[in-house]
Amino acid sequence: MRRTIGTVGLIFVLAAPATAQLAENHMVQVVAHTQGAGSPPTFWRSDVVVFNPNAATVSVGFAFFPEGTANTPITSFPAGRFRILEAGETILIEDIVRTMFALTDNVKGILIVNSERRFFPLNPSPALVLVSSRTYTSNDAGGTFGTYGQTVVTSMDFLSASPEPSYATGARQDGQYRTNMGIGSGSTEQIRVHYRILDQEAAVLLEGTKTIQPLSMKQWSFTSLGIEAHDGVMTVEFQLDPEDVSSNPCASPNPNAFYAYISKVDGNPMGTGDGEHIHAVPREFPPPPSGCPTPRPSALGGFLAR
């Protein structure tokens, strides 16, 4: 049975992890090379930065999982899909969807960045790296005179397998801002995620269910969902379908993990095109169940073949 939110007394504690961390596995929730809405239209692309803090050379692989596609786990990082970083080196990969993956036709998806020794045997153990990502548009419809953009979450910790809801707040759909909603899956199976868009007084403006393909994501504008305009700030609640909640919470990879976000853009239709990426935070980060390994097996493992 789905949990509901009352109109008063919304008191709970969120214990969210950091949005970036040193790790061998990183997931960028969305990278893109695509044309958006607005007047003039926005032209989104994504840059990725990787830093090697180790005292040794580290190889780092990159994998792209396209939107709305039933993707499969990767088994290797072929030539052109990895970079070698010297000790202390930082690299910038501009417009990564186009320059590394040769995709230019309005495409977005999940980016995995990995430096594990099972893929790169010469790497130190652990081969921790730091990753950041920015998705941005020009202020002159694709030209070069300045950009407006948003830092996108790169931590794998926001993949949630909890039956508890997750929340993203700060959505607006009015004369100044437009908002998009995105949901991604770390599952090797198709999953369903319920969503509710709430106004500032917790009234439900819209609710529905989205089916997400394996190891993929999908993004929708509020307009396409049915909210043309609304006077006031909104919060979106996301919840995994009860039938998709894993019966084995110790499974590795966890078969039902998902993440969600909203992207608020200045310009509806006129404006700067400045975007804000707001990740959904689970209401609860449950401790590992009794008998599970500690730490809990990572849901990110679904992207990488074992």
The domain limits of the chain are 25-283+294-303
Q: Are 142 and 136 in contact (CB under 8 A)?
A: no
Q: Which has more confidence, 88 or 273?
A: 88
DSSP single-letter state for residue 225: H
pLDDT value of position 255: 62
* Band of pLDDT at residue 140, cut at 50, 70 and 90: low
Q: Please, what sign has the CA dihedral across residues 262, 277, 73, 238? A: negative
Q: For a pLDDT cut of 90, what percent of the chain falls above it?
A: 63
Average pLDDT over residues 253-262: 81
Confidence of residue 6 (pLDDT cuts 50, 70, 90): very low
Residue 99 has pLDDT above 60, yes or no: yes
Class of domain 25-283+294-303: mainly beta
Q: Does residue 180 contact residue 223 with C-beta atoms inside 8 Å? A: no
Identify the band that residue 13 occupies on the pLDDT scale cut at 50, 70 and 90. Answer: very low
Mean residue pLDDT of the chain comes to: 85
What secondary structure letter does DSSP report for 255?
Answer: T
Given a cut of 60, whether residue 103 has pLDDT beyond it is: yes
Residue 38 binned pLDDT confidence (cut-offs 50, 70, 90):
confident
- Is 4's pLDDT higher than 50? no
State the burial class of residue 220 (Cβ atoms within 10 Å of its Cβ: 0-12, 13-18, 19+).
Answer: middle
Q: State the pTM of this model.
A: 0.87
**For residue 41, what are its two tokens?**
């239209």
* pLDDT for position 298: 47
Q: What is the mean pLDDT of residues 286-296?
A: 52
